[in-house]
Structure formats: structure tokens, C-alpha cells
A = this chain, B = another copy of it.
Amino acid sequence: MSYLPRSGPMLVDLYELTMAAGYFDHHITDDAVFSLFIRDYPADRSYFIAAGLADVLAELKDYTFSDSDLNYLKRTGFFTDPFLDGLKDFRFTGTVRAMPEGTVFFKDEPVLEISAPLIQAQLLETILLNTIGFQSVIATKAARCLHAAGGRGLIDFSARRTQGGDASLKVARSSYLAGFSSTSNVLAGKLYGIPVSGTMAHSFVTAFDTEIEAFRAFAKTYPENSVLLIDTYDTIKGAENAVKVAGEMAQKGQKLIGVRLDSGDMVDLSRRVRRILDDAGLKDVKIFASSGFDEHKISQVIEDGAQIDAFGVGTKMGVSADAPYFDIVYKMVHFKDRDIRKLSPGKVNLAGEKQVFRKTDENGNYTEDIIGLKNETPSASARPLLETVMENGKRTVSEPSLDDIKKTVRESLSKLDKPYKALKAAKAFPVTLSDRLRRVQDA
């Protein structure tokens, strides 16, 4: 049975539709501009990685209400027949300007702007916030893990504890684009072409009478692809059993790939296991580790001298446990001929249709961002980050591959100075407003 990751326009807060009904009744059909941005950094963060645009554009391509949707809406009693008749022909016909997936961005910066007839632009609020918000949460968390790992491998192990099955797919994709090398999630492998990895769990070991029998059985099935889990009973004895089996494999011309630790003191155990492997001449056998890793634990065990070659990173990355959501919002910033601010306490927006301009130094390193108006050029050398990706409801650029996006992330992060990437954010990247944008706010 195939999995369909699209939800269509019914995945919407009811008020988007009741407001639409209000606009419809009052013949309000003018174009509006809405801006999607993150109001503030959660604890420890000082940058974000944009993700989710591919899903948004896939949704918008065929964003229609089915007859069954319309029948349901009628049954709710909230809507008139003329309004529902109008929804039959509902299509997205507007313009989407967005930062490409993988772009590093900062708070207050629009990561996406929609320009469309008011009803259309309004209806997209829920799906845009949800899709870009969640996937950027995960891509950002994964990028932090990458930074902590300092070149060691990272594997997404989160499928079992993400917030639903769909979330597990988005996590596999978002962590891969942020720099993870593979995922344990088979469906994500199939859907996105991400390399899959994983070998055995404790239950495999306990299904045999002894650990070494389990190891031998697994090595027989996977003579070229075995990573043995060595902590089911006692990690050190497990390592010794793995050495025995590696020796037996070597006699057949086979090679053990690695061992995995999943509990206990990772620093001490990894060092002892490394020594056991090295003493047996198994310098190429890698040590994988899993169990509660996130960027902080990865950084800590490396600092403490752990001898780990790759980390399986699961739950805490897969739900972004310390920051499971961003304060991402979608606000009308222009309507008819007016730039619009909302003035509720603590919830001020930047009015106007905008662009984000990035300044770099002579080495290409990021020095400053300027949020300006869409049609200005506040600095000749600054590069605009928002690209038009959809016009009149049609895509205007081709979809980058996941590996292209991965490259974007890698390059972007290499141009961001270290203090902004610290696990405990040390300082905020300078983001200023252009004079023209500032004047719009004061108007």
C-alpha cells in the first residue's frame, strides 16, 4: 500500500475558510501579500535552515477540493452554497517567492512570501506554517548535530519516536539535507532515494541461545554488511565475541563492518572496545553508537575522548526535543495599496513586500543581512535570497535534487562564522532593515 504524503486544502484551520466566506460575501478579491517568518530564536539557536518548500510546491500544484470535501463542508453548516460553488473551482493562481531549501536564515527574515488573491493567500496559512515550520525545525536541529559531530557520520534513527509516520519521513529528508549520511527509515529511502542503513537490535541477540550464535548467524546472512550490536549482555564480552566472529569471517575472506554500542558510558566503553578491536588487528572495524544522542551529547562524548566513528541519532533529533517548534508566523503585510502592520503587544510585523539581501566579505563569508523592500537594491554587492519559485500558480524553477540541497546547506554553513554555529548561541547574526523598509514601518 503506497503512502501519500499530500493533504490538500482541507488541512486548514476552520477560520481560514470562515474568513474566506466573509471575503466572498463582501466581494473582496484583491491581491494580498503574506510573509512567513520566525519571530525569535528558541534556546541556543542563532540560525535556521530553510526546509519544506518542495512539499509546499507539490501541494500547490493541485490544490483542489474534492466533492467529498465540499459535501463535508456543507454538512458543517458554516458555509453557503454560493461560497461552496466557488470552492469547486478553487486553484492556487498566485506567486510564491521563497528562499531555496537549505538556505541559512535568521529571525524576522521572510523565508517565503505569497502574493495572491486574498482568499487564496489566506487559505495557505495552515499548510505553510506547518510544512516549512516543522521541516525547518528538524533541518536546523540536524545541522547542529552535524556541527557537533565534526565530520563523523550521522544516521537518522528516529522513525520509532517521531510525531507520526509522516513526520518520520519529513525528519529523514530534513536531516539528510542538513548533512546526515543515511536513515534507518525504509519508506523514506524508497520515497526520497536516501541511503538506508541499520543492522540488528537486541531482540535479534536474545532470539538465540548465546550472543555469539546470534553474531555468527547475522554474519552468515550479511557477510559484507554486518554491524554487530554488542551491549545486550555485557559490552566488553560483546566486543570479544565480535572479535571472534570477525576472525571467523576473515578466514572466509569476509569483513566485519563495525560494532554498535547502545548503552552505558560511551566514552569509556568506546575506548575499551577500540583497544580490543585494535589489539585484534581490526583497526578498520568501525564503532557506531546510539542511545539518546543529540548535538550536546555528541559534542560532550567527543570532547571527553570517545572513540566513535558514527552516531545513530534518534528521538531527540526526530522531535527536536529541546525546541520542538519555532515561533513561525504568516502575516498579511500588504493588501490593495496598503502596507500592513499588526500592532498587538509583542507581535509586531514588518509591513511591505520584502526581500532579504545577504552581504559577504571578500572570502564569501556572510557578514550581514539586510531586510529591504522587494524592489529595491540596498547594496550593490548584496545577494537577494528570495527567489520566485511559482508564478500564476505554475512553477518557474525546476526542483533541486536532495543532494543539491545538501550541498547548499554545506556551503551556507561553511560561510557562517563559528560563533553563530555554537551549540550555545553566543551572539546574533547582524540583520538590519533597509532605510526604505524602515520608512514603510514608520509611515
Contacts and interface: CB of A to CB of B under 8 A. Distances in A.
A185 B13 contact: yes
Contacts of A318: 325
Given A72-B189, A325-B321, A7 B12 contact: no
Contacts of A34: 203
A371 B5 CA distance: 40
Contacts of A201: 15-16, 19, 122, 125
Contacts of A165: 7, 11, 127, 130-131, 166
Given A162-B134, A190-B72, A264-B345, A3 B13 contact: no
Interface residues of A, number: 107
A326 B76 CA distance: 36
Contacts of A231: 344
Contacts of A169: 11
A77 to B, nearest CB: 8
A187 B12 contact: yes
A331 B28 CA distance: 58
A217 interface: yes
A343 interface: yes
Contacts of A263: 344-347
Given A18-B198, A163-B162, A163-B163, A232 B129 contact: no
A314 B234 CA distance: 45
A15 B200 contact: yes
Contacts of A257: none
A380 interface: no
B332 A207 contact: yes
Contacts of A429: none
Number of copies: 2
Contacts of A343: 232-234
Contacts of A207: 23, 28, 32, 118, 332, 335
Contacts of A319: 163, 319, 324-325
Interface stretch (A145-153, A218-226, A352-360, A385-393): A218-226
A198 B14 contact: yes
Contacts of A157: 13
Interface in A24-79: 25-26, 28, 32, 34, 62, 64, 66, 68-69, 72-73, 76, 78
A204 interface: yes
A168 interface: yes
Nearest to A19: B204
Interface in A86-135: 118, 122, 125-127, 129-131, 133-134
Contact of A2 (B12, B62, B68, B130): B68
Contacts of A344: 202, 231-233, 262-264
Given A10-B187, A16-B201, 9 more contacts: A3-B8, A15-B199, A76-B189, A78-B196, A122-B203, A163-B170, A202-B332, A202-B344, A263-B347
7 contacts: A3-B4, A7-B165, A72-B189, A126-B160, A130-B160, A134-B167, A232-B343
